[in-house]
Amino acid sequence: MVDLTRIQKELTDCNRDKRVSGVSLTLCGDDLAHLSGTISGPIGTPYEGGTFQIDIRIPDDYPFVPPKMKFLTKVWHPNISSQNGAICLDILKDQWSPALTVKTAMLSLQALLSTPEPNDPQDAVVAQQYIREYPTFVNTARYWTEAFAKRTSIGIEEKVKKLVEMGFPENSVRKVLNTVGGDENLALEKLCSG
């Protein structure tokens, strides 16, 4: 069983100072085992100005095993898969400690965005580019941030409007959009399937 007390507390704690920390945490639906987090791109990096959605699954043995996290927002980074958003970070694997929290893990992700470790890559292509053609890497990363990490935050109201016009209740539209990381088509699919 997931430890409810702890998750509840983590949610409140994390959102208390989200404007300072740049990370926030929300529930996806009613299930405490499925959370959605956002990280704002660190200033002075190609990710600056972007908001990155993280899908967070809380396993039954949490906090004795690490939460499962991946990027929903596409991101160009040596330690994050450009294909599926999988993350290579030690504290999400064997260096996890029950004393860490989802928030600390997300802060570590934020730190990872500012200091990539190309020598321990998740995405070999990106890592190669980072090492060999750094300027190209920066450009690509910046472009991806513009293309994927900003669109959702700007266009979200439009999407809600569009979907509500199709006849779905606004509440569930917002919830579903949140769950799928702002992807309009996915949200529609989900709404239709009930």
Partner 1 sequence: MGEYLSADEDYYSDPDSQEPFHSHDDVDVDVDVPVVEDDRDDPRSTPSSNKIVIRKEHLLLAQMGDLRRVMDLLKLREQHARTLLIHYRWDVDRLVEVLAEMGKDKLFAQAGVTLPGNTTSPLLQSSSIITCYICMEDVCPREVTTMDCGHCYCNNCWSEHFIVRIKEGQSKRIRCMEHKCNAICDEAVVRKLVSARDPDLAERFDRFLLESYVEDNKIVKWCPSVPHCGNAIRVDDEKYCEVECACGFQFCFGCSSEAHSPCSCTMWELWTKKCRDESETVNWITVNTKPCPKCHKPVEKNGGCNLVSCICGQAFCWLCGGPTGRDHTWSSIRGHSCGRYKEEGEQKKAARAKRELYRYMHYYNRYKAHTDSFKLESKLVETMMDKISALDRRFYNLNDFSWLTNGLNRLFRSRRVLSYSYAFAYYMFGDELFQGEMTKKTREIKQNLFEDQQQQFEFNVEQLSKYLEEPLDEYSEDKVLDIRMRVINFSGIVDSRCEQMYEYIENDLLGCLVRTTHSIAPYNSKGVEKASLWSATVDNSGCHPPQDVKDFGRPSKESGCSSSRKRSRRDSRGDGLFDLNLPAEAIDKC
Nearer to partner 1, 5 or 193 (CB): 5
Q: How far is the CB of 72 from partner 1 (least distance, A)?
A: 26
Please report, to the nearest 10 degrees, the dihedral formed by the alpha carbons of residues 133, 135, 138, 139 taken in order.
Answer: -110
Q: 69: helix, coil or strand?
A: strand
Polymer length of the chain: 194
Q: Give long-range contacts, CB 8 A cutoff, 24+ apart: 5-9.
A: 6/63, 7/32, 7/35, 7/58, 7/62, 8/32
Q: How far is the CB of 142 from partner 1 (least distance, A)?
A: 33
Q: How far is CA 82 from the centre of its chain?
A: 13
Nearer to partner 1, 6 or 151 (CB): 6
Q: How far is the CB of 98 from partner 1 (least distance, A)?
A: 4
Position 187, amino acid: A
Name the site residues for partner 1 (rule: CB under 8 A).
3, 5-6, 9, 61, 63-65, 91, 97-100
Nearer to partner 1, 10 or 123 (CB): 10
Active site residues: 88
